[in-house]
Chains A and B, each alone.
Chain A
Amino acid sequence: MLAYIVRRLLYAIPILIGVNLLTFTLFFVVNSPDDMAVSQLGEKYVTPDAIEAWKQKNGYHLPLFVNGEAEGLGTLTETIFYTKSVKLFAFDFGRSESGRDITTDVRTRMRPSLAVALPTFILGISVNICVALLVVMFHATRLDRFAVMVFVAAMSISTLFYIIGGQYLVAKTWQLVPISGYHTEGQVWKFLILPVMVGVISGIGAGARWYRTLFLEEANQDYVRTARAKGASELRILFRHILPNALIPILTGVVVVIPSLFMGSLLIEAFFGIPGLGSYMLDAIRSQDFAIVRSMVFIGSILYIIGLILTDISYTWADPRVRLN
């Protein structure tokens, strides 16, 4: 297995270079180094000299991809792409365009992201699985048909609706929790209740429907009929027989996102004022902070690759027949 993991990690390098290249290209299609300089310098009384000085100071004075004035390897290495990208592979994210250390910010913001994402993830999975199993128990009844209808309706509604509706009812009208914010001094949980609740509820429609489909496939297998014939209770059949056998497709969708939990959620964090990595990314895009955007995309890619590797490993745990070669 170790050889497999090492091989997968090596495969990751060209993927990361590709992702970085794509991010770089997309970002500079929209923003030029001059735009960034003006944005950082304040847009008033900005002289060409000041723009040039800013670019020089921040390493944006070089050509983007190819330096025609340099010689030899320098044509490729004396470019913005190379100088800004190579450090990423050493996990040196450098400083944001506003001068803050990105590694420190990422480390600080990871905690609030996890504080929301982890309970949302665990509760969401648990609730979705429980609901799906219960619906499967009442399969082919009116209750099942009604549930599917509600699932489809729930998944058709935008997450924004759940967020704004939740804020309006629970925080504004009933005044049960703060409408947004996050504080580590004292009662952190009171800021987490609403975003976690919204995160869980908004995911139930799609999640439970997907799991119901997986469980139904298993529910018609011979081993389930055998278990039932042996007198096993419905609950035992659901949790001890169907659930473990439906794990492979569940793991495919679930394990891959576990590492990405650190990255937080753009919408939830923005609306609930959670100072996590999701809102960090959003702010960076808004303020044209390429250093942060590039670092966050890089971290996201790495976490996704780790997620894929973990998924493969989890298959061997869920199904002993699977071998990683």
Chain B
Amino acid sequence: MSTGLPGCVSLLLTMLVLVGCGEPPWNNPHPENPAGEITYQSMISPRPPKHLDPARSYASDETLFIAQITEPPLTYHFLKRPYELVPGALEDFPQITYSDADGRALDGGDPGVVFVHYTLRLRPDLRYAPHPAFALDERGQPLYLFDSAAAAAQFRNLPDFPERGDRPVHANDLAYAIKRLADPAIGSPMLGFMAQYIHGMAEFTEKLSGIERDGWLNLDDYSMSGLEVLDPLTLRITLKQRYPQFVYWLAMPFFSPIPMEVDRFFHNPGFIERNLTLNWWPMGSGPFMMVKNDPNSEIILERNPNYHPDFFPTEGAPGDAEAGFLADAGKPVPFVDRAVFRIEKESLSLWTKFLQGYYDRSGEVHAHTTGYYDTSFVVGPDGISMSEELKTKGLTMSPDVKPGLYYYAFNMRDPVVGGYTEDKRKLRRALQIAFDTEEYLNIFYKGNAVAAHTLIPPGIPGYLEGEEGLNPYVYDWVDGEAVRKSLDEARRLLAEAGYPNGRDARTGEPLKLFFDVQSQAVSKTSMNWMNRVFAEVGVQIEYRPADWNRTREKLLTGNTQIFSFGWLADYPDPENFLFLLYGPESPLVCKCDGANPANYENEEYDELFRRIRVLPPGAERDALVARSVELWRRDAVWLYSYFPKEIFLNNSWVTNTKRHGISKATLKYVRIDDAQRSRLRREWNQPVTWPLFAGGALFAGLVLPGVVAYRRRQNETATTQER
């Protein structure tokens, strides 16, 4: 009675009264879904997306939304592996032609090729989702164009506009989207990169930079020499050099059509101040449209009524039919009517809601950062499986190796660990062998990652399995599996490198290495583990933890010795990974945040890379890729590397859950059994009410003696006190 109990109990009673008024379950965090509509319930974690303008967005949590709303020219096959491109907004794959500097047509193999032309023909049945930018008044003029901010003051959100219109997608909209990439006012992350390839893009940017702006600038008034609209459905893009990987970029939202009307609409006076921008209200002709974007709570997508006929794939990868991924083959998509993504900042809340059935899927489950991982999964000889508790709920698991990699690299310009002499290679190789990657991944990632023998992840052409894909400098092939070389071998290499027993043979000083680690990405226990493994070969480690900004500064100046880094694929091509060791990408060379912070420089590798970049897929390219990987192994550029796995859990009512490592445009394939979901949610979330009654009883039990004591004290007289 004397502590917080009265407050606690009275609040519990309030809770009983308030919550008890409704039908169970009381813990449902979602409002009622519209009747008759199937809603996919998901989450955004931990932060809402920052940019949803297809020209600006370059983060996977942002693509999750844009990919459902927009339609780039190409897309990926949902089921097939290795990843396969298929036409998206296009009728067919782009037609590729070549010409010389004067525009004369040439054969693709001709060394005189200067320009490469991609002719893109749009599907004729593409139509934008209804949008107020297309609404017209009775005179056929745009309804929502305002002279002043005050005139449109009543519109604070996109759904506030009562009238909407739509129109077919034109080839000019594709051109407009590419011009937006080049507009310096938009700040697209692709501007610098694409300007190297698209003819006239840099000049276009320069032209726009010199223009004084007061409001909207119609990009249609300015031409870009590499863009040519041939007819309402056909666009020709000209590249100023060969770049076969361009087709992969055409599968990214950067290249989704954007209508001029929408750009103009969002430049109405006062719209930016009310967050009415394309950056917050993406639009397109994709299967869904955004109807709510509240970065404080949720994003809601609804089915685009104008979406063209689209069907579930009828073919898949081997094993897909057995796994049930082809059960809906040939059926029209999308299967759900709405998708609600709520912001979840804390993993406990997210996980609890998922297990209570309030989220259809778990989101990505990380082994090393998620506290509930140990209680939810069992790591056995056959890999990771779900705990009994999860199995009884009927959950299904979608594991997948991500097309990306994480690694600790040596700074190749470092005087101790860097360099290209045999001694230096031996030193690095000894450290590679000493670092037992498999044990590290088992302990700290609970087996949720694969030790890398190459820098090309599984699912990407060039990745080899088994003995063929073995790194022979670190492993031996024994009885059909890769076995790490012994510590004796590491010690031998270390001695040959000039560090017998981990001491410099010339000075007798112990070999001490410096690890630059990102404070939030490495734990004390993993540092202890690394200290132990390197101590086995007599090497000492010192850690220099810093936040990402400081680490980045060190990388830019080459002031590191060993550091951690990572890369997620933009597209499924080995070039996107071999890029990580390309000499000109060294931050010390390009004076930029280059992709090669190890500062690896090898003329042979660079030449191989330049050829791989322009060669079409085939045996010749495969051989060059294999040679590049061999150089990476031989020079022992990275201390260790691994391919992360991601695990998604699905409630039993969700199907077609196959993960796609590259594309996020998979929401249209997800199917929900709404009846089963409602039944199980009710079953799983019956409130436990006894604590409320127990709390009430406890309160009464404590208050009553207090009241009695008070009354007794009030009624005391001097006589009773004396007695």
Contacts and interface: CB of A to CB of B under 8 A. Distances in A.
Interface of A: 30-32, 35, 38, 40-51, 53-54, 57, 95, 98-101, 103-105, 108-109, 112, 123, 127, 130-131, 134-135, 137-138, 143-144, 146-147, 150-151, 154, 164, 167-183, 185-187, 189-191, 193, 196-197, 200-201, 204-205, 208, 233-234, 270-273, 275, 279-280, 283, 286-288
B7 A204 contact: yes
A179 B27 CA distance: 7
The residue in A30, A201, A234, A286 that gathers the most chain B C-beta atoms within 10 A of its C-beta is A201
Given A47-B193, A177-B26, 15 more contacts: A30-B547, A31-B549, A44-B595, A45-B190, A46-B592, A46-B593, A48-B592, A101-B272, A104-B274, A143-B2, A154-B3, A171-B27, A172-B352, A201-B8, A273-B344
A100 B48 CA distance: 12
Nearest to A38: B593
B26 A190 contact: yes
A128 B591 CA distance: 60
B6 A127 contact: yes
Contacts of B25: 175
The 8 closest A-B pairs by CB, nearest first: A147-B2, A275-B296, A204-B4, A47-B192, A42-B58, A127-B7, A178-B29, A180-B349
B103 to A, nearest CB: 29
A164 B2 contact: no
Interface in B139-188: 184-185, 187
Contact of B187 (A41, A45, A95): A41
Specify which of B11, B343, B685 lies most central, judged by the most chain A CB atoms within 10 Å of its CB. B11
A150 B692 contact: no
A209 B593 CA distance: 55
13 contacts: A53-B187, A57-B184, A98-B51, A104-B273, A131-B2, A150-B3, A151-B3, A170-B15, A179-B352, A183-B29, A197-B11, A208-B4, A275-B294
Contacts of B22: 187, 190
A32 B549 contact: yes
A144 B286 CA distance: 68
A172 B351 CA distance: 10
Nearest to B295: A100
A275 to B, nearest CB: 3
A123 B7 CA distance: 8
Contact of B688 (A101, A144, A175): A175
A43 B15 contact: no
Interface of B: 1-4, 6-8, 11-12, 14-15, 18-19, 22, 25-32, 47, 50-51, 58-59, 184-185, 187, 189-193, 272-275, 277, 279-280, 294-297, 342-346, 348-349, 352-353, 356, 547, 549, 552, 570, 591-593, 595, 685-689, 691-692, 706, 709-710, 713-714
Contacts of B294: 275
B19 A54 contact: no
A320 B63 CA distance: 63
Given A41-B189, A50-B189, A234-B714, A179 B348 contact: yes
B696 to A, nearest CB: 14
Contact of B19 (A112, A182, A193): A193
Contact of B32 (A38, A46, A95, A186): A186
A234 B710 contact: yes
Given A204-B3, A271-B346, A179 B272 contact: no
A35 B7 contact: no
A180 B18 contact: no
Contact of A154 (B4, B187, B280, B295): B4
B27 A176 contact: yes
Given A46-B592, A233-B714, A99 B279 contact: yes
Contact of A201 (B4, B47, B593): B4
Contacts of A99: 51, 272, 275, 277, 279-280
B344 to A, nearest CB: 7
Q: Max chain B CB contacts within 10 Å: which of A131, A185, A189?
A: A131
A35 B549 contact: yes
Nearest to A289: B50
Contacts of B592: 46-48, 51
B19 A176 contact: yes
Contacts of B27: 171, 175-179
A199 B580 CA distance: 50
B302 to A, nearest CB: 16
B26 A175 contact: yes
B353 A286 contact: no
A8 to B, nearest CB: 32
A135 to B, nearest CB: 6
B192 A273 contact: no
A193 B10 CA distance: 12
A231 to B, nearest CB: 10
Identify which of A47, A171, A185 gathers the most chain B CB atoms within 10 Å of its CB.
A47
Contacts of A234: 710, 713-714
Contacts of B51: 98-99
A191 B342 CA distance: 14
A196 B272 CA distance: 36
Contacts of A31: 549
B15 A131 contact: no
Nearest to A41: B189
A131 B7 contact: yes
Contacts of B277: 99
Nearest to A100: B275
B3 A205 contact: yes
A50 B186 CA distance: 11
Contacts of B8: 197, 201
A120 to B, nearest CB: 11
B3 A147 contact: yes
B192 A100 contact: no
Contacts of B28: 178
Contact of B280 (A100, A147, A168, A180): A100
Contacts of B593: 38, 43, 46
